Structure 1
Amino acid sequence: MLGTTFTRAKNIEITDTISGASELFVIHDHLAPDFATGAFRGGMSLPGAWRAANLIADLIGGIPWHAYRERGGEPVRKLDPTPPLLEQPAPPETRINTFSSWALDLLWNGNAVGLIADRNSDGYPTAVNPVPSDMVQIRRVTEGMDSILPIGEIEYSFGTLKNLGPHDVIHIKGPHAPGELRGMGVLETHLDTLGLGKEQNRQARSLTKHGVPTGLLKSMNPDLTKPEAETLKAGWLASQRDRTVAVLNASTEFVPLSWNPEELQLVEARKFTLHELALIFGIPLSFLGVEQSSRTYTNVEQEAVNILKFSLNGHLVRFEQALSLHFPNGTWVKGNVDGLLRSDSHTRYETHKIGLDAGFLTINEVRELEDLPPIGDANE
């Protein structure tokens, strides 16, 4: 296994009560308790969490990424062609695969990491190897540590690869306390909510497992033995699972203990969990399938804008600034969100007409916005 997780260290001093000698121990803990096996400790097995995480990850992975440069007072210009690090960071993987997997890691574990794999002639990265953040160690070099990096430098380790500095690694870090070297993710901060969702799924499966309400199989036979009772119960359950006819003699009676998911508040509890997941991932409830009243086209369009402004924006800026650190001074990275803000055709055409009538847009500028080739003289 490639290392452990991104770790925070706890220093504990142990003192011998007899000799008085003390020794300092360093304990590393990944701080994300064991939740379950599977992708991101099983968090993706919850339908609401799957939907929320993939929605954000695919939006980040689907947008185009560009680099811009400003030098010597010259106008800002977009680099063309797009640098390989932004166009296809980890060939042969497509851009969406790389960025969306990074985004999932950022959401769940609070960190997204890539080991720089190739550089151009100027020494700037052109390709990376994305690495799961729970296979990475990070620490700040202090005096006495076994490291080739200078004191105060941040050091990364990927399994057998040691002494890697920030120059060798792209690290997109999630929310964190001042001075922390690693970010916080959903697994570390919201494990209770995820655990509640898993338990609700288990209860729902249990309630419907046999196809009948919970009940009491009552026998009037005073000589009924325990093995006979178990056989009677097994036969009854088997007949209900197979949807066949159950045969009970005169001394046996089934008394249903009726249940209703509404009465048990199971449905409402699961809705509440969806509310919490929407808060955790920062997306509108309607995107998780929760019915809301008075939904109109305008509301839906505004919700899409709100996802960009109040949920996606923070993640985008973290990606932009982390990637910009690996480009020359005066060059920065931006994600192009124009496609996410693109309104319906009728609204766009009305907006174009306003610009044309006011004189601050030309026909060819409008055609460019609509991904159409120019017509006539480009200077017209």
Structure 2
Amino acid sequence: MSFWSKVREQLAAFVAYMAESPEYAGDVRPPARERQTAVTTERALSLSTVYRGIQIHATAACQLSIAVERDGQAIKTPPLVEQPDVDESQSAFIEYAVTSLYIDGNAFWRIIRDGAGRVINLVALNPNEVRVNVEYDRENRETITFGWRGLTLKRDEVKHLQLLRIPGMRRGLGPIQAAQIEVRGALDARDYGAMWLSDSSIPDGVLSTEAELAPGDADKYKHVWYGRNQDGTPRDDEKNNSERLRVLGKGLSYTPLFLKPSDVQFLETQQYSTIQMARLIGAPASIMLVAVEGNSETYSNVEQEWIGYVRFGLMKSLREIEQALTDLLPRGQKARFKVDALLRTDTKTRYEAHALSLNPQTGWATVDEVRALESMTPLTDEQRTELANRKPTPAAPKEPISA
């Protein structure tokens, strides 16, 4: 008989056994795997890495001010940009927009206009409550409306911001929606680690022997080990039994199941999940307090990481907000976030760069331009006179070099 014939014969015998087993009642098919439900926003935010990553984006965006330009020249900030929602601060409005984009992939603003059609207020809507409807006429022209709390809002009544636009999808795609399997894996790893010590099904140790045990001996040894009678009933003196000593016979030996603290807390898994979620959310690893293996953290590396974060992480949500505000401003006006605050170096490096720009021979900037970069007002006439009369500090004499 060939090898494959033996395999088929054994499989047939196994199937026959399964069919006769009352436990399976003739159904030898494997149980159907339950369909995994989608990870909700609330459950995803229960991961500290996801919550922290989104909070980093919101905190960074809230620190930035918005300037309005016309023909490249800064103008006075209009009320619509200074406070888009009259009932909220500008930072709160921006925070709601950024968190909505990273949590849902979408942000919706309801536009309030006056009698002349000018935009006078913006109200941030809960993206979970907004439905995007698309209808086509006979000429295949589309009409987009938004359903919100039983109302049907036209396209000029709602501003729709999207984190990532996908062809064929009317709603933006967010990181939580795009990477459901990875987020669910991080949740499962966290829950498994949290239940490891509290789960009563995990044994404390193993009683072992090389001798053959009679039926029921294993249960008797287990009961005696835990201070009970052989049949499992409690002893009369169990309440007063404070003995910590166990006596083994029949060649029994006890091996405790010890785990290192790093294994109990699943530190390697947690670090991998943190890096994975930081990459998914687009938050800097250094701010997430995790080190990527093989990378050395230096000041230069962290500075470059922040530049990359602003350009390729945070800038997408900022550009959505900028463009949405620009579309609602009068024609010719543009809204721009001042991202310099996130890219500024330390004080010493900044001042050294200012000194180079003010150098009389090679400089290219004025004192007032440098003061503007530091958010300072221009010099007054008195300050200019004092600065002109100020004598330069003599350089310290060099010590002679001894022979």
What TM-score bracket applies, with the shorter chain setting the length?
Answer: 0.7 to 0.9
- Alpha-carbon distance, 1:195 to partner: 1.0
Q: 2:170 aligns with which of 173, 177, 181?
A: 181
CA distance in 1, matches of 2:50, 2:168: 29
Kindly indicate whether residue 96 of structure 2 is the aligned counterpart of residue 105 of structure 1: no
Give runs of aligned pairs for residues 1-380 of structure 1, distance below 5 A: 33-36=37-40, 40-70=41-71, 76-80=72-76, 82-116=77-111, 118-119=112-113, 122-143=116-137, 152-162=142-152, 164-209=153-198, 214-216=203-205, 222=217, 250=247, 255-260=255-260, 266-292=266-292, 293-357=295-359, 358-377=362-381
Are the counterparts in 2 of residues 174 and 184 from structure 1 also a CA contact under 8 Å? yes
- Alpha-carbon distance, 1:224 to partner: 6.0
- Alpha-carbon distance, 1:178 to partner: 2.5
Pairwise CA RMSD: 3.6
- Alpha-carbon distance, 1:112 to partner: 0.7
Name the counterpart of 2:233. none
In structure 2, do the counterparts of structure 1 residues 88 and 254 end up closer, same or farther at CA, with 3 Å as the change threshold? farther
Q: What letter corresponds to residue 179 of structure 2 in structure 1? A: H
In structure 2, do the counterparts of structure 1 residues 143 and 374 end up closer, same or farther at CA, with 3 Å as the change threshold? closer
CA distance in 2, matches of 1:371, 1:356: 17
- Alpha-carbon distance, 1:43 to partner: 1.3
Q: What letter corresponds to residue 377 of structure 2 in structure 1? A: P
CA distance in 2, matches of 1:289, 1:359: 40
CA distance in 1, matches of 2:50, 2:335: 29
Q: Report the 3-state secondary structure (helix = DSSP H, G, I; strand = E; otherwise coil) of the residue aligned with 1:285.
A: coil
- Alpha-carbon distance, 1:284 to partner: 3.0
Which has the larger share of strand? 1
Q: Report the 3-state secondary structure (helix = DSSP H, G, I; strand = E; otherwise coil) of the residue aligned with 2:93.
A: helix
Are the counterparts in 1 of residues 56 and 283 from structure 2 also a CA contact under 8 Å? no
Q: What letter corresponds to residue 152 of structure 1 in structure 2? A: E
- Alpha-carbon distance, 1:52 to partner: 1.1
- Alpha-carbon distance, 1:56 to partner: 1.1
In structure 2, do the counterparts of structure 1 residues 191 and 119 end up closer, same or farther at CA, with 3 Å as the change threshold? same
In structure 2, do the counterparts of structure 1 residues 222 and 305 end up closer, same or farther at CA, with 3 Å as the change threshold? same
Are the counterparts in 2 of residues 141 and 154 from structure 1 also a CA contact under 8 Å? yes
With the length of structure 2 as denominator, give the TM-score of the two structures.
0.69
Q: What letter corresponds to residue 145 of structure 2 in structure 1? A: E
- Alpha-carbon distance, 1:367 to partner: 1.6
Gaps of 5+ in 1: 1-31, 71-75, 145-149, 234-244
CA distance in 2, matches of 1:254, 1:79: 80
Larger radius of gyration: 2
Percentage of identical aligned residues? 25
Are the counterparts in 2 of residues 58 and 96 from structure 1 also a CA contact under 8 Å? no
Are the counterparts in 2 of residues 170 and 323 from structure 1 also a CA contact under 8 Å? no
Q: What letter corresponds to residue 267 of structure 2 in structure 1? A: V
CA distance in 2, matches of 1:343, 1:199: 40
Gaps of 5+ in 2: 1-35, 229-241, 385-403
In structure 2, do the counterparts of structure 1 residues 78 and 246 end up closer, same or farther at CA, with 3 Å as the change threshold? farther
User: How many residues are paired up?
Assistant: 321
CA distance in 2, matches of 1:123, 1:61: 29
In structure 2, do the counterparts of structure 1 residues 269 and 168 end up closer, same or farther at CA, with 3 Å as the change threshold? same
With the length of structure 1 as denominator, give the TM-score of the two structures.
0.73
Cα displacement string for residues 230-267 of structure 1 (whole angstroms, at most 9, x for unaligned residues)? x979xxxxxxxxxxx78576579974223346568932
CA distance in 1, matches of 2:168, 2:190: 39
